[in-house]
Amino acid sequence: MKKQTVLAHSDVALIKYWGKKDVATQLPENSSVSVALNGLDTITTVEFDDKLLADDIVIQGSREAKEVERVVLHLERIRNLAQIKTYAKVVSKNTFPKATGLSSSGSGFAALTLAAIGALELKLSPKEISILARKASGTACRCVMGGFIKWLAGDTSSSSYSKTIFDENYWDIRDVIAIVDFDKKKVSSSEGHLSAHSSPFYQVRLQRIPSKIKKIKQYINDKDFSSFGKLIESEALEFHSILLTSKPPLIAWYPGTIAVMNLVQEMRKQGIEAYFTINTGFNVHILTLPQFVDEVQKRVSSLSFVRDVMKATVGGFPQKLDTHLF
């Protein structure tokens, strides 16, 4: 056993998943496609130590009970796999705000999974790693990959995993992230998934997903940014229509969210190619091309509703670091 530190990127879903076939194993109702984001990162150090009497877990300087519980549960999965009982020390930090709809659980559990199996020197295939990460957080099964990623929904635990469909060097697109608030989401994604089926439009959405995935893969392959952008923006709005019409309704947007969406559409009228997408929170991803990044950042920063602006590029696979957090 050794100390291991891993940096994993968050991602943004281009074609989103919502609803679960099985909550216990995080089996999604539909496949999804995302892009890893270099710049929205989690760094996690794990060390298994015989001297520990319990797992010692610090996330962003906090030992919040609910978060610690999820980490301990995942460490138990990994211990069972390794057939050991040894407790672990885990220290994790993000370069971006967590629990605000920016997929911090995805990068967090991806980094934890890879650091823990690295510390225990377990030999797992990329598919096995993705399946293991999925059990902690659905999005984590994508975040153990890099570039443009497809998560196959599958019908069983062994058939639901992610794979890279285009690597991080294939297409240089940029993400400008408008942070309209740093507070936690009022409703977690885990809770939201449970009410997905209550929307009267949910089944129609599921029927439309395979066609959307086929199209997005084609647009990425062709580097057709205009078609790509129109699809991800309409997909984001359709996705939020499910949240808004669920019972109870999930209203994720803040005034700043809507202000940013309106600004993006206005920028396009002025020849600045940019398109928005939003996960389950209120902060907004604005996907654009390299030549527009600075102008997009400048205009978004000028909005009074926007608290901060971050930038990201297409990220690669998670990486081991030589510098540890403890």
The 10 Å Cβ neighbour count of residue 144 is 29
316 neighbors 147 (Cβ within 8 angstroms): yes
- Written in H, E and C, the secondary structure of 228-295 is HHHHHHHHHHHHHHHHHCCCCCCCCCCHHHHHHHHHHHHHHHCCCCEEEECCCCCCEEEEECHHHHHH
- The predicted model gives 133-157 an average pLDDT of 97
pTM, two decimal places: 0.95
| pLDDT tens by residue, 154-165 | 999 999 999 999
Band (100; pLDDT cuts 50, 70, 90):
low
Average pLDDT over residues 199-225: 98
Query: So what's the pLDDT on residue 162?
Result: 98
CATH 3.30.230.10 domain locations along the chain: 4-170
- Condensed to tens digits (0 to 9), the pLDDT of residues 254-277 reads 999 999 999 999 999 999 999 999
Average of per-residue pLDDT values in the chain: 95
85 has a pLDDT exceeding 80: yes
Name the pLDDT band for 142 (thresholds 50, 70, 90): very high
326 close to 200: Cβ distance less than 8 angstroms: no
Fold of domain 174-314: Alpha-Beta Plaits (3.30.70)
Give the architecture (CATH level 2) of 4-170. 2-Layer Sandwich (3.30)
